[in-house]
Amino acid sequence: MPRKNLFSRVIEDIDSALVRDPATNTRFEMFMTSPGLHAVWQYRVFNWLWKRGFRTFSRVLSNITRFWSGIEIHPGATIGRRLFIDHGMGVVVGETAIIGDDVHMYHGVTFGGKTLESVKRHPTVGNNVTLGAGSTLIGNITIGDGASIGANTTVTHEVAPGAVVVGQAPRTL
């Protein structure tokens, strides 16, 4: 598949978001008012800097985006195409997180780590996944393609493709 230019990627993101957000009616409105899209677009720039060794600078810029959007995406994370963060406030995506294509994420979603070691410590989310408001994914787990995670659900184990997960995982000490 040929690489898309910046303009066509922005239009692709906007059109994808319009399909998922019935409260927004035009491309212009989506472009101007979606903090989730703004955060993803800025992440792409910061990730580009991160990969070229400008790690501190990219993290500083990422913190500025977090300040005004309420969305924290570590510049070292890996994000696929057409991620839509609906509302966005309180979203946290850790450094080693991997997010597939066409993921729909609501506000308050956390991709958390389980260890302080310098290893893959954040979740991997497949394609076409929906993450409900306030859902928390902890550790180096995989959420399969097409899965749906319900609002305020804590996930600490693998989720099969197409599965629907709701509630809170049992707590162990």
Orientation of helix 35-51 relative to helix 6-20, angle to 10°: 140
CA distance 147 to 117: 28
Q: What's the token pair of residue 133?
A: 């408001």
Residue 147 has pLDDT above 50, yes or no: yes
pLDDT tens per residue across span 152-170? 999 999 999 999 999 865 5
Q: Which fold has domain 6-165?
A: UDP N-Acetylglucosamine Acyltransferase; domain 1 (2.160.10)
Given pLDDT bands bounded at 50, 70 and 90, which one contains residue 171?
low
Question: What pLDDT does 167 receive?
Answer: 84
Domain spans of the chain? 6-165
Residue 84 has pLDDT above 80, yes or no: yes
pLDDT tens per residue across span 11-69? 999 999 999 999 999 999 999 999 999 999 999 999 999 999 999 999 999 999 999 99
CA distances from 156 to 12, 126, 159 (A): 32, 16, 9
Question: What's the mean pLDDT when you consider all of the chain?
Answer: 93
Residue 139 has pLDDT above 60, yes or no: yes
pTM, full prediction? 0.91
CA distance 167 to 123: 18
The phi-psi region of residue 121 (left if phi > 0; otherwise alpha if psi is between -120 and 50; otherwise beta) is alpha
